[in-house]
Amino acid sequence: MLRALVVLSGLLGITLIPDAVAANASVDVRIKQQALVVHEGQLLYALIAVKCDSGREVLEAILTSQQEVYGDAYYTPVCDGHPHPYLVPVSPYSGVFHSGEGSVSVYIIVCEVNDNCVTGDANRTVTAYER
């Protein structure tokens, strides 16, 4: 997976530190402006980074992508106080993704053991490139 992330970063000419950010006391979510469409539009790869405080448990983490079609994907971030990159594959529910502009949104809920939960979210317009 790490190799695929590095390869995708190289193909798109991007760094592993994404652009759009939303942060609160314990969750930091970033979305890179570029995405990659593969397999004739059956998958869109979005590059994100998530940082959440140690001792938190992820209750839900979802990424949605929309062009003329819509898709979402769940992923499992690590909460250890350090940012981690994730290359999240999204399949459309019907139709295909294509090169051009679209939107990507990320939403995450993390909780402490005493059920003190916080959320993080970010959304941005991305440019998808076909490979």
What per-residue confidence (pLDDT) applies to 19? Answer: 52
DSSP letter assigned to residue 55: T
What per-residue confidence (pLDDT) applies to 91? Answer: 97
Closest CA to 120 of 131, 109, 105, 129: 109
User: What does each of the 131 residues of the chain score in pLDDT, given as a tens digit?
Assistant: 444 444 455 544 445 444 554 544 579 999 999 999 999 999 999 999 999 999 899 999 999 999 999 999 999 999 999 999 999 999 999 999 999 999 999 999 999 888 889 999 999 999 999 98
> Which residues have a Cβ under 8 Å from the Cβ of 35 and sit 6 or more positions away?
44, 45, 46, 47, 65, 102, 104, 126, 127, 128, 129
Domain that holds residue 7: 2-130
Cα–Cα distance measured from residue 42 to residue 90, given in angstroms and rounded to the nearest whole number: 8
The number of distinct structural domains making up the chain is 1
Q: Residue 57: give its domain's CATH number.
A: 2.60.40
What per-residue confidence (pLDDT) applies to 17? Answer: 44
What per-residue confidence (pLDDT) applies to 20? Answer: 54
